Amino acid sequence: HVQLVESGGGSVQTGGSLRLSCEVSKYTHSSRCMGWFRQTPGKEREGVASMHTSGGSTTYADSVKGRFTISRHNANRTSVLLSLQMNNLNIEDTAMYYCAAKGGGYCGTDSPEIFASWGQGTQVTVS
């Protein structure tokens, strides 16, 4: 059963940068698509970026294009480290950020419900 653990959240001033990390352990075919989502109280979970590990294709929400970069590298034989580099942060980026994984097929950010595995979240606050 794939496990996801986020880290790297924190507080930053407007215009600053943060790098989020997500260790995806027990990586299998069930986690070929990985992504980052965010949520603020009272709002629905919003897709930020996703990556298909086979081929490396990526998608980004319009609100983060040009500012955020999703990437991954193999931590070891069974773990993958998924990262989200966030630059030029603004107040609207404040949210709880989650990494998620699913199997193959569609790997977009517009359907959080199709992602089967989720991390516990890490808070990002921009002021």
Tens of pLDDT along 17-29? 999 999 998 767 6
Q: What is the predicted pLDDT for the residue at 11?
A: 97
Q: What is the predicted pLDDT for the residue at 30?
A: 65
Q: What is the predicted pLDDT for the residue at 103?
A: 84
Rounded-to-integer distance, Cα 54 and Cα 49, Å: 16
* Mean pLDDT score, 90-111: 92
**pLDDT-based confidence at residue 37 (cuts at 50, 70, 90):** very high
Block residue for tokens 């921009």: 126
Mean pLDDT of the chain: 92
Neighbours of 35 (CB within 10 A): 26
Residue 22 corresponds to which tokens in the numbers above? 């997500």
Higher-confidence residue of 1 and 3: namely 3
Block residue for tokens 């996801």: 4
Rounded-to-integer distance, Cα 20 and Cα 13, Å: 16
